[in-house]
Structures are given as structure tokens and as C-alpha cells.
Amino acid sequence: MLKIIRSDILKLLAWFLGSLIIGAALAPFLYHGCKAIVQFRVLGSFGDAGLWLQSKLDNAHFGRYFNRSMLLGALVCLYPLIRSLKLKKAHLGLEKNSNRFSELGIGFILAAGILFIFGIVYFQMGIFERTNSFSFRIILKFIISAITVSLIEEYLFRGFLFGAVKRTASTFSTLLFISFFFAIIHFLKPPLNCARLADSDIHYFGTGFWTVGQIFAQFENPIFIAKGFATLFVVGLVLGWARIKTSSLWLSIGLHAGWVFSVKIYDYHSNIPTRYDKNFLLPYIGSDLKEGLIPLLGVLLTGILAMLWIAIRQKKSHSRQ
């Protein structure tokens, strides 16, 4: 029993629950507090930057404040988690990778390329229509954003958390758990009926926890699971496999960055025509490039091609020795 209590998996679950509780409790206070700052024009004395921030706070709906509260809760609980895990560099199981740049590049090209092909097909079928045009500044912005997000999340999920769980679980169990954990974390976003609540409906004690209940209630809907959760879970499996197979994070970072970049570019450059309902092709195609069972097949295809490339490269490496 004592061994189970000390399990790293339970520590991660405690961190997750603690983040939920703190985030849910804090969200209404953060929302009403920031709206009061806007109402009393406290930021106006800070010049253009203050006016810009005031505008952002004023236009943000409850869902955005809820997401920020969850992030704060996760950060508050992260320090005791790190202390309790007592994780050392050797526990991560990562090795120095002389092929890091080729794995980073191949991963990015595979992930972004296959999703872009899907996007082109969507355009040709008339499912999406082109809106904004591109510029070098926009493309560079999305590349930097994609690399930053992938670095942070891969070091957290496939590096730190994967290494922690693997100390007390098999590799396969660790892969499943971290992939599920990765998907759950990315789905902690309130549905539309919660995100755009009126001020009078946001109560200090209760609205945050009610919103958490609404988030998990979505899992009763198979369309919701097929729409995005299943894809995120498979994304986690592919990224975890890349980490296991290469004993490093570079291929995972490249794949992750490629997916994030293509989704951001497509969201910026396209929209569903107004003659269609945003959910008219669910569960096969959602409202963007990452939702639906067809993008899930794209993720699987990317993983298979990455697997073949690693196998061929390793075979060539062994033949030279």
C-alpha cells in the first residue's frame, strides 16, 4: 500500500487534481477582479501599454480567464510536484543525439507536410475557404510559436513526466498514461455555454467548479471524443513512440512543431464557408485542421512514415559498423 501511495503516477494525479481545484476556485475572482480594474480605468495611467492591456481584459470572456486560472493552478502545484518526485537527469533516460537536427527537420516536414496536404484537399472540396493572405512576418511568428510550444511541452510531457512515471511503470504503461494525460490537459477548456457567461451568472463560489463539471460532461458525447480527444491521444502516442525509439526528444519536438505550425497557419488562412454549419461533417472533419477522424488518420500516417525513416536510418547505421 505504501508503495502505491508513493507512486509517481499518483503524484501526477494529485498535481492534476490540485491544479483543477485551485484553478476552478480562482477563476471567478480573477474574472471579476480584472473587470473591476477595467471599470475603474486603473491601467489608463500607464500609457498606450496600459490601454492595450485594459482593452484585452475588457474583451476577454470567462473562458479565457478560466484557462489562465488553470495555468496558475498548475504552476502553483508544480513546485511541490518537482520536490516530491526527486527526479534526476539519469531518470529521464535521454541520450545525446548526434542526429538531432536531421530528426528535428524530418519531423517538422513530415508533420506539417501531411497536414497541409489534407488542408489543400479541404480547399479543393470547398469545405474551407481562403481568407487572410500570408506574409513573411506571419510565417516567422507561427514558426517561433510552434517551436516554443513544442520545446516546452515535449520537455514537460515526454521528458520530465515520462521519465518520472517510467520509474514505477513499464514503458508501454507509461506511454499510454502520458498520452492520455497529454490529451486531458489539452482538453481543459470550457465549452461555449460556459466560456461566454454573463457577469451576473459568474458567482465567486461555484461557477468555476460548475465549469469543470461541464468540461468532463463532454466526454459522455462520442462525437466530442472523436472530434478531437482521440486525435490528441494518438498525437501523444506518436510523440511518445518517437521519444522511446530515439532515446531523445528531437524527433518529438520536430513532429510537434510541424503540427502546431500547420494548424496555426491554416486557422489564420482559412474558414468554413458561412453556408455550412461548423459541425456539418463531424466526426470526420471539424472546424479546423486538427479536429475529426480524418486528421487522426493523418497523424497515424505521419507516425508510420517517421517509424519507417527511423528504421531505415538505423539499418544503414548498423550496416556501416
The pLDDT of residue 2 is 45
User: What does pTM read for this prediction?
Assistant: 0.83
- Mean pLDDT of successive 10-residue segments in the chain (321 residues)? 61 89 93 83 68 74 87 87 79 81 94 91 82 80 92 91 86 92 83 78 89 85 76 94 93 96 86 61 76 88 93 77 61
Query: CB–CB of 160/89 below 8 Å?
Result: no
- Give the residue extent of every domain in the chain: 1-86, 90-320
The pLDDT of residue 313 is 84
Report the DSSP beta bridge partners of residue 270.
130
Q: CA–CA separation, 97 vs 58, rounded Å?
A: 47
Helix (H/G/I), strand (E/B), else coil: 271: strand
Query: CB–CB of 23/78 below 8 Å?
Result: no
Helix (H/G/I), strand (E/B), else coil: 129: strand
